[in-house]
Structure 1
């Protein structure tokens, strides 16, 4: 007598894509949720797992841009090689008959430099592959979205399938934006790079629309940042609804409502503070983030051994440089006086330290969108052990 074995879940090669400079942060996040990285390159961290890994990574990753399935890699210097290499991959195991599968692309230092042509070739090859399984030549694409990217780097083709949909910075709480906002993913990375812990006070004295303070609150409460949104892979046959329900239930149960957080978001501009209050409430952290109107020059915390993480204006526009330099001087005079506090400032100004009035203990190159910046790190003493 034979015993039927339960079907096994597929194992995928997955990538958490990220902004340059944040690979180490994303790597640590993956380790924390139980998926040790198998490869790290500029712009992504690779790991493996089944459909549950897709759900958990999308829900929990704070600093990654997207979670994608690596469908295949191969060399291609001609359109024929690109076509045959694409067609040979297991597209029918991933895409149902009614799948909507737009193809985007990019090419760098490769023989096949025409991105639109590469996209057309890949699309045609996938249609041919699906046609063999479903016995048809035309697909109406009325079902769930399966966004595909063809990426060529030095003639190596990588084909990926985007599981996230909207970028992971779209948490669902920031419906309104102030000028020059910082992405939620970068804000979360800055908080983690500061090594702030929930038992210490936290402040952003130039908070704008409140993103950094909100990300600190979500981290301090151990709240998965993706709980308030959906993802493309939720509508895929290979990722069952129950699996997503289980992952969300796990994330809900992990929230630490018993943790007392001391987080302050302040700014001199009453207009942006109204946005900050709206976003704080929308994120569900109004009970642990205080939003206050205050000039950074008046920053005087009631408790020692805190942590400041802030993203001041950069002065990128003509005529703003003098104002921003004056702001940096004011910041320096105020924040240097808080001798037990650690200060982390992200800025594109290469002369920031001169106007702040002190050389940073550490400096880390990061990108805020396409703007190259430095994270200037002023490390205060750790609180004494109780």
Structure 2
């Protein structure tokens, strides 16, 4: 048999996210209620971290971790790349696995991750894993049925490992499916930034929420301010009741509530956009995220402002209660030009980048972090980045860039 038992907590993100994901998890676990240390992870490429499974660490990650796209618990793996050998491998190892959900009945679904080197289609791979799980659970007295709409547990199958030792891995989703679907964005603009990437952008900016203002001068649908507010106080993005844990014995006795991990942090966030229609979407999304009202009047300031005419005096006027304001950070997702056609449109976009660079140069001592998917951005912006990191927003390839002014 080519199957073997696994016991890893798997954090998966966008390309190049490993260091940010690792730093965020350490920060969160250190402030959690658990007396546990996070060991150094194993890495698979630049977008996956593997930790020895600890239900306490998994609880923190699933409830609070913002930069990962998926969080799962690896149960077993097989060297098989064909359907019949995979089925023969999985059934005995899953049948003897006491970590599987118990009870008389189980509704489950199977999702397929990256599996391009498996010698069958994703649909066929999903089917054979489903059949192996049904047979394994039946041997344990559990009647299992597929339910894609409201499953008790979601199993994930993917090809993983180093290039020279790839395996087919089966695990359980712990983090509530795709992590960029926070549920707070009720209105979206053109080419919105995924929430997970917005969190990475803020982490890469090295923003200190206790002492530095954060300004998004092209806020759009407010993804960056919402993530910044959550990161500042260590707010949860998932509640234990929303996660598939009630059928997993490993999570018995763990907390049912998710208090802020950094309570009392009084962040200063400025959300600006030149488009009045964007202001409406911005307010709607902030309201859906619970970030409006008297409690947030002093921490999240909204304004209509063209980035090209932005000045330090304007920011100081928006934050009158901040005396002797320290230099802060800009976090920006500028337009990429994907939807702008023709030579005239490109010239207008490059002129915008140039004007942005001139405006932000007025902010001596400030930093900026941008996600851009236009290769001409740096040239037109007029500033040399202090860091360049490849990334992607959905299927759009781009880069994280940081600048010092």
TM range (shorter): 0.7 to 0.9
Structure 2: how far apart are the matches of 1:47 and 1:362?
27
Structure 1: how far apart are the matches of 2:275 and 2:133?
52
In the alignment, is residue 26 of structure 1 matched against residue 31 of structure 2?
no
Structure 2 unaligned blocks of 5 or more: 1-5, 30-36, 317-324
Q: In 2 relative to 1, CA 260–99 (structure 1 residues): closer, same or farther, beyond 3 Å? A: same
Counterpart selection for 1:201 from 213, 217, 236: 213
Q: In 2 relative to 1, CA 321–235 (structure 1 residues): closer, same or farther, beyond 3 Å? A: farther
| Greater Cα shift, 121-130 or 179-188 | 121-130
**Length-normalised TM-score, structure 2:** 0.82
Query: Which residue of structure 1 lines up, in the alignment, with residue 366 of structure 2?
Result: 341
Query: Any idea what SS the aligned residue of 2:61 has?
Result: helix
Structure 2: how far apart are the matches of 1:181 and 1:167?
16
Query: Which residue of structure 1 lines up, in the alignment, with residue 289 of structure 2?
Result: 283
Structure 2: how far apart are the matches of 1:140 and 1:343?
50
Q: In 2 relative to 1, CA 54–231 (structure 1 residues): closer, same or farther, beyond 3 Å? A: farther
Alignment of 1:354-369 (within 5 A): 354-369=379-394
Structure 2: how far apart are the matches of 1:133 and 1:56?
30
Residues 216 and 271, structure 2, Cα contact 8 Å, conserved in 1: yes
Structure 1 unaligned blocks of 5 or more: 1-10, 381-386
In the alignment, is residue 125 of structure 1 matched against residue 142 of structure 2?
no
Query: Which residue of structure 1 lines up, in the alignment, with residue 10 of structure 2?
Result: 15
Q: Residues 113-150 of structure 1: CA distance to partner in whole angstroms, max 9, x if unpaired?
A: 3322222222222222122111x8x6445784322222
Counterpart selection for 1:152 from 154, 159, 163: 159
Query: Which residue of structure 2 lines up, in the alignment, with residue 49 of structure 1?
Result: 53
In the alignment, is residue 252 of structure 1 matched against residue 250 of structure 2?
no
Alignment of 1:32-43 (within 5 A): 32=27, 33=29, 34-42=37-45, 43=47
Alignment of 1:90-109 (within 5 A): 90=94, 93=98, 94-96=100-102, 97-105=104-112, 106-109=114-117
Question: 1:353 Cα shift?
Answer: 1.4
Residues 52 and 239, structure 1, Cα contact 8 Å, conserved in 2: no
**Length-normalised TM-score, structure 1:** 0.86
Q: In 2 relative to 1, CA 322–226 (structure 1 residues): closer, same or farther, beyond 3 Å? A: farther
| Greater Cα shift, 267-276 or 295-304 | 295-304
Query: Which residue of structure 2 lines up, in the alignment, with residue 292 of structure 1?
Result: 303
Q: In 2 relative to 1, CA 328–253 (structure 1 residues): closer, same or farther, beyond 3 Å? A: closer
Query: Which residue of structure 2 lines up, in the alignment, with residue 3 of structure 1?
Result: none
